[in-house]
Amino acid sequence: MKLLEVNNLTKQFGGLTAVSQLDFGVNSEEILGMIGPNGAGKSTVFNVIGGSIRPTSGKVAFRGENITGLSPHKIAGKGITRVFQGNMLFPNFTVVKNVRVGLHLQTGIGLFGFLFGGPSAKNRENSLYSKAMEILEMVGLFDVADEVASKQPHGKQRLLGLAIAMASEPKLLLLDEPVTGMNAEEVTAMVAMIKALRTKKGMTCIVVEHNMKAIMGLCDRIVTLSYGKKIAEGTPMEISGNPVVIEAYLGAQNAS
């Protein structure tokens, strides 16, 4: 049984079909890439999986359970976490405090309790400090734990977003353009980190990315979308040489 299965997924916005009869699956501990030109439907697929929009038709199953149309909160509680393209941080908090905010999902006291609760809530949160530091060490941010998040370079802020996502102990990570805006050194570090999460934590990932060098070096398989439809699926080598994929990106005239 696959960890995640998407069957006959369709999403229409008025007269526009953003995703059409899409089928794909993700195996446990697999890194699956999803690529396609702008407007191909990649973000819509992530939004449906994450629960922020409901599909017009089709089904999403996670660990054998139908999660189609559940709220984002319920889907997150089942073990699916999305890391968005933008750096969604508390910029004036320290790096470690950002991760501790992420851990509030595990404590049961909620974010409000963490920020404004009494001594009991504070003590419970303080006990998670060592866990937050372990996560920071895993993503290479241990040395900047007490520094302000907004003062970190872009690459480290992206790693912090990944650390916050890891705080919820997900079974599946949806990574939305994880290397966007990074320089070559930062891209290499992020790719290595995602691979390490799979090796050390058994993490499963779906990665949407426009950086083809990164996606080809990171993923086990790649699904290619164009105008909301799957046009190819295979290994990076198979996808890179697929004439249909090349045409979708470059156009028939440029491809020839």
Distance of CA 180 to CAs 28, 30, 116, Å? 26, 22, 35
- Look at the chain and report how many structural domains it folds into: 2
Residue 165 lies in a domain: yes
**Tens-place pLDDT, residues 20-39:** 999 999 999 999 999 999 89
Q: What is the pTM of this model?
A: 0.89
In one-letter notation, the amino acid at residue 222 is I
**Tens-place pLDDT, residues 100-128:** 888 875 655 555 655 555 556 666 766 78
CA separation for the pair 102, 48 (Å, rounded): 22
Q: Which domain holds residue 182?
A: 79-203
Query: In this predicted structure, what is the pLDDT of residue 256?
Result: 44
- 230: region left, alpha or beta (phi > 0 left; psi from -120 to 50 alpha): beta
**Tens-place pLDDT, residues 218-228:** 999 999 999 99
The rounded Cα 35 to chain-centroid distance in angstroms is 14
- 33: region left, alpha or beta (phi > 0 left; psi from -120 to 50 alpha): beta
Do 57 and 96 lie in one domain? The reply is no
Do 63 and 111 lie in one domain? The reply is no
